[in-house]
Amino acid sequence: MKVPMEEKPFPAWSWSVEQCLKEYGVKLDKGLSTQEVLKRRGKYGWNELAKEKGKPLWQLVLEQFDDMLVKILLAAAFISFLLAYFSGSESGESGFEAYVEPLVIVLILVLNAIVGVWQENNAEKALEALKELQCESGKVFRNGSLVPDLPARELVPGDIVELHVGDKVPADMRVAALKTSTLRVEQSSLTGEAMPVLKGTNPIFLDDCELQAKENMVFAGTTVVNGSCLCIVITTAMDTEIGKIQKQIHEASLEESDTPLKKKLDEFGGRLTTAIGIVCLIVWIINYKNFISWDVVDGWPTNIKFSFQKCTYYFKIAVALAVAAIPEGLPAVITTCLALGTRKMAQKNAIVRRLPSVETLGCTTVICSDKTGTLTTNQMSVMEFFTLGGKTTASRVIHVEGTTYDPNDGGIVDWTCYNMDANLVAMAEICAVCNDAGVYFDGRLFRATGLPTEAALKVLVEKMGVPEVKSRNKTHDAQVAANNMMACNPVKLGCCEWWNKRSKRVATLEFDRIRKSMSVIVREPDGQNRLLVKGASESLLERSSHVQLADGSLVPIDDQCRELLLERLQEMSSKGLRCLGLAYKDELGEFSDYYADTHPAHKKLLDPNYYSSIEKDLVFVGVVGLRDPPREEVHKAIEDCKEAGIRVMVITGDNKSTAEAICKEIKLFSRDEDLTGKSLTGKEFISLPPSEQVKIMLKPGGKVFSRAEPRHKQDIVRLLKEMGEIVAMTGDGVNDAPALKLADIGIAMGITGTEVAKEASDMVLADDNFSTIVSAVAEGRAIYNNMKAFIRYMISSNVGEVISIFLTAALGIPECMIPVQLLWVNLVTDGPPATALGFNPADVDIMQKPPRRSDDPLISYWVLFRYIVIGSYVGIATVGIFVLWYTQASFLGINLVSDGHTIIEFSQLRNWGECHSWSNFTAAPFSVGGGRLITFSNPCEYFSVGKVKAMTLSLSVLVAIEMFNSLNALSEENSLRKLPPWRNPWLLVAMSVSLGLHCLILYIPFLAEVFGVAPLSLNEWFMVILISAPVILIDEILKLVVRSQRRMTKKKQA
């Protein structure tokens, strides 16, 4: 038997039903045989989405170490471990102390890897959420009989499936036969269309056809909202549209690129590696004579001596340089700052799912927004309606406020129930009774049951009220009581109930494509039957012979009246409104006394072809204009985006005219703006050559892409990213998921969004509010500025440490700080102030500046110069106080020898390695805090064991300078007089914590021994502060230079 090609399914939408049945060798009333099903399953497999294999744990773990900074740290830890192992006893370190440094480094790396793996594991849940959309079972014809509950995974191409209202579609299928006059399917999550789509059986003669245009196809994961039908399964599993989306999500996840900050830090890591290499080389070149020596005989080196001990000492200096140069605490501080940023954003209804997204938001240059449910409310509402006045040449347009299904949201402008004339009464009756919808409250939102347009008409009736005073008061009281009791489920629509009791429905003439209308026969209070009709305005107008005036009189429609009505209709349509005409008919002939299906004329109601003859010679009442309105706050958000230099592009599955009308209303475009090159369908844009696509994207201002399919959205996002833009993509449907995954920032809707969209996103809007994105961008910018502040602060501190070690090596003096002390400073004492800098208040004009370029340097040449100046002072101060302790008895009146240590010459300190050859050199024992006495078995130990106090002073100066330097980091340019420290009280708390932690290692004996430090006296602390404080003055002078240069530049420009 012939089966369709495995590689590419045939275009079933362009074939007739008979051709499709013939292609599969199946009959509508029989279905496939068991034998044929097994044969096809062998070819097509089960009807279920593929399970993508995730990365194995070992691969995820290894990926966390694929980072330049991490590699340097690993190398430093390895060398440090080897040195601890081979020379622990020589250096005086024993057991645990010797291994503190490598163990701490490894611990940091392990913790970072655990966090990274945890984030990776959480990243791919979107594919799991897609599986929830799949149907569990369906009604299928097999072996000539109906199987009522066949598992959906067992379907194969060629199966005949029966669908009813509420059924979820189990596969992509061709509609073969309608069992009701109409069939509507809700497919907004797949295509982005606001309204349920009317489906039919006629072929569509296009080989390459948009999803929205395939009106004879139903797609897996969508839902039947009206009617029932028989379908032929065409594609299953991964070949369905939802399967293609799964492939696209997976492909998009493979294309995910690093965040701008990650790229900058990687770039910084590369440069840092080079810098460390160069500095280490210089240190070795300066000190080569210390570990290698030779005699020169006849111009040639002889008697070469190599000291392995000295060589390993300079290895230790290299390790110290690596530890000093790398801000080990930076990953932890960045994570903390981002986590605090997510808390702030959550308070503003932006729930961040991936931490790095907070920073990426700050440099967003383009927001690609879905229309339905994002810029609009995804709730149909009546915006205005018109009827004729006292004569056929006068019409009245009445405006309606409110954008939701809440009957109490807004009202009718200048409206009182007391002036309801005959036209308005007729309009209310038609909207209430010729209607099958309802409204329910889900605890958060008012939602529609049935067709959204019909629910909007019922809400309009509630706003209009009822014409009778007595009934009006009763209805109002009942409505108030119902509102007070409302917790969930159906909302009491008192006015609609009043109309339905007054006008009893006896028959329904369902909607069809030919008439483009739906009507009901009702029994009026006077016992007469009336036909109430609603449908496409032009179609109803053609079938109307009379029009009703405000006083209830009927007037034949003449050309002038028809022209006026069409003119008003055109005005409403141009605003992007969906227009519904309303009419009625009293002369029903043989149906004037119709009461039930036992009536003689009932047979005619079973034939939809007869409906047109009933719905003629109508009395035209008026037109209602509905739409899915834009959110009130969107207009301001668009303005904020323009001011912040962020472009907004609307990408929607809706039709072109509706999308353009909404974009004009939210002021993305001006009213009379020429939209050539700014408004295109997805198909039109993708068919353009790449150079033309780039040209369109480079033009300033907004863009709108309508009729966009998932692949179009991805292609647009991909193109923007290739152009160097940082793209934020918003969406709520399944169709948005691949693009959300691909974008730099995927933003899903929290209320109306599908689980698939949420899982594919980086951020979820808890209130579905477009303006929340703008608030999140502002927060992202503030966080980035603060991160820049603490990154610069930490790097400037590290520059100081490097210069300190470099000076130590260059001068040839004993090392004034050991690696474990540097590690403590970088991780612990630097951490709290750096984190507190994340709380710096945002600049007032943060959203008046253009977005920063993603390739903007983290550290400019001027900033680098500033921190080399600051770093040089840090190096001079830390080495200086070390030298002072050894060589000076007092400093600025402060006695340095109260502890009884020996004063030596600076030249002796520089040549301490030659100590064993000095004659008559002695070192007196001296006391440190807590009654501890430092003694020496060998006088040369004065430069190793005896340097504990000098090292403590160096370390304390380093910590104090870094505390003062954190005050400098409050602002890049502003003086501390303009931005005093108390503007960020958290920083003052953090400085206290850091100093407290430093005192902890100084004054607790066990920790003092581990870190090689000793307690300081009050005088010594005074000297530490005296030497550290000038760093503020130096940076204030540098800031003054920046401000002066800026003022001069402004004067020249003026």
Residues with catalytic roles: 370
Q: Give the helix/strand (H/E) hosting 291.
A: helix 288-291
Residue holding tokens 């405000």?
550
Q: Identify whether the C-beta of residue 739 lies closer than 8 Å to the C-beta of residue 368.
A: yes
DSSP alpha helices (H): ranges in 348-468?
Answer: 356-361, 422-433, 452-464
Q: Identify whether the C-beta of residue 683 lies closer than 8 Å to the C-beta of residue 707.
A: yes
Q: Identify whether the C-beta of residue 175 lies closer than 8 Å to the C-beta of residue 199.
A: yes
Angle at 568 between CA 564 and CA 574, to 5 degrees: 145
d(CA 617, CA 205): 36
| Partner residues linked to 583 by β-bridges | 533, 620
Around Cβ 838, how many Cβ atoms within 10 Å?
25
Residue holding tokens 């009718």?
412
Three-class SS of residue 976? coil
Q: Identify whether the C-beta of residue 860 lies closer than 8 Å to the C-beta of residue 792.
A: no
According to DSSP, the β-strands at 727-731 and 366-369 are parallel
d(CA 119, CA 354): 8
DSSP alpha helices (H): ranges in 287-413?
Answer: 288-291, 308-325, 330-347, 356-361
Angle at 712 between CA 756 and CA 719, to 5 degrees: 105
Amino acid (one-letter) located at 570: Q
Question: What are the respective helix, strand and coil percentages of the chain, to the nearest 5?
Answer: 50, 15, 35
Angle between helices 861-887 and 770-811 (to 10 degrees): 40
Distance of CA 932 to the CA centre of its chain: 59
Q: Identify whether the C-beta of residue 743 lies closer than 8 Å to the C-beta of residue 692.
A: no
Tokens representing 48 are: 């279920």
Q: Give the helix/strand (H/E) hosting 532.
A: strand 529-536
Distance of CA 1027 to the CA centre of its chain: 48
Q: Give the helix/strand (H/E) hosting 696.
A: helix 690-698
d(CA 450, CA 394): 35
Cα Dmax for the chain: 135
- DSSP character for 673? -
Amino acid (one-letter) located at 564: L
Q: Identify whether the C-beta of residue 402 lies closer than 8 Å to the C-beta of residue 389.
A: no
**Which residue, among 112, 141, 191, has the nearest Cα to 27 in the 3D structure?**
141
Amino acid (one-letter) located at 912: W
